[in-house]
Amino acid sequence: MQCRLCGAPSTLIAKDHHGYQEGNTFDIYECKQCNTSFVLPVDFTTEIYQAIYKNAEFVPGYNRYYYYRKQAKASKDALKFLADAESMYWAVQEVLHNFKGKNILEVGSGFGYLTYAIHQKGYDIRGVDISATAVAEATNTFGALYECADVFDFYKNHLEEYDLIILTEVIEHLEHPVAFMECLYKMLKKGGKIFVTTPNKSVSSLKDPWMSDLPPVHLWWFSEQSAAYIAKQLNCTVSLVDFTKFNRNNFIKPRYKIFNDYGHIPPRLDSAGAVIDPAPWNGDQIGPVKALAQKIVTRIMTTRLLDPLLARPARPIEKSDTLAFLLEPIG
């Protein structure tokens, strides 16, 4: 089987692996050349997302996005709240520190809280999402910042319009990620950039065939090498985000050998589309003493002396569970 990203030979590493919904199975392939995993068959359908959005408050994983929407609306500094909560939003905040342009587009804006958080900072930003349900909820919560559209059509009316396009946790859902990114490329002004976050394959244990969201919700699992290949296809330079600062200020359990990895991810929906083990997300509600203890432990464990001894080989201090990279067209 040829790799669906780079075309090199790939290897079947898991046959009939269970999917996001009970009763669905997928074969998982891995490409050594670009260090990318992908699934077959490519079962891209919006039905499973309808079930997720309908029950988002209780779907494991997505329940935290539902929580972020409520907290962002109530926050005076929603971007800081998000950046403190997760590495991918911290990476967005880092990119914006050096941003000198005017127009921003968030693609795959979902519940709308990141678009709102950036808008709250005074940036001129729009959010676009293919889900009418998500756009309606985002608009009702945060105002008229959003549009429901398919990027393959949307880009035609927005050529060379944006200084920055943000794509958080979207590319792994796409049937044809490079073709999708080509549409974004065409919407950039001269000097514009595309910022992408996605789960990072290279920090996971080699024993885990698939530690991203289960297919068909996620169809890909990318690495730094994957990002370099995508950049080459788009004729772009690629810059990886360094997460050292984030890791030194945030207690991340799976980072260290003395903690267990996440382990097996079970199906999230049953065969009828109902949520298995529903649970709301209440955030990490810890007391001030425990919070201080975690901060002290984090600072000690991430010192230059101890970090190389405690971190897994695939997880140096500059890496995160999030792969974040900035693409800039050449010329």
Q: What would the pLDDT profile of 258-274 be if each residue is shown by its tens digit?
A: 555 556 789 999 999 99
Q: Give me the mean pLDDT over the 281-305 stretch.
A: 79
3-state secondary structure 6-22: CCCECEEEEEEEECCEC
Mode of pairing for the β-strands spanning 236-240 and 322-329: antiparallel
- Report the interhelical angle of 78-85 vs 87-97 (nearest 10°): 130
DSSP lists the bridge partners of residue 280 as: none
Residue tagged 């296809």 (tokens): 233
- Look up residue 237 and give its amino acid: T
CA–CA dist 254, 198 (Å, integer): 17
- Look up residue 185 and give its amino acid: Y
Model pLDDT for residues 40-77, shown as the tens digit of each residue: 999 767 788 888 888 989 999 899 999 999 999 999 99
Model pLDDT for residues 214-246, shown as the tens digit of each residue: 999 999 999 999 999 999 999 999 999 999 999
Q: Give me the mean pLDDT over the 154-166 stretch.
A: 97
Could you tell me the pTM of the whole model? Answer: 0.94
First to last CA, the chain: 35
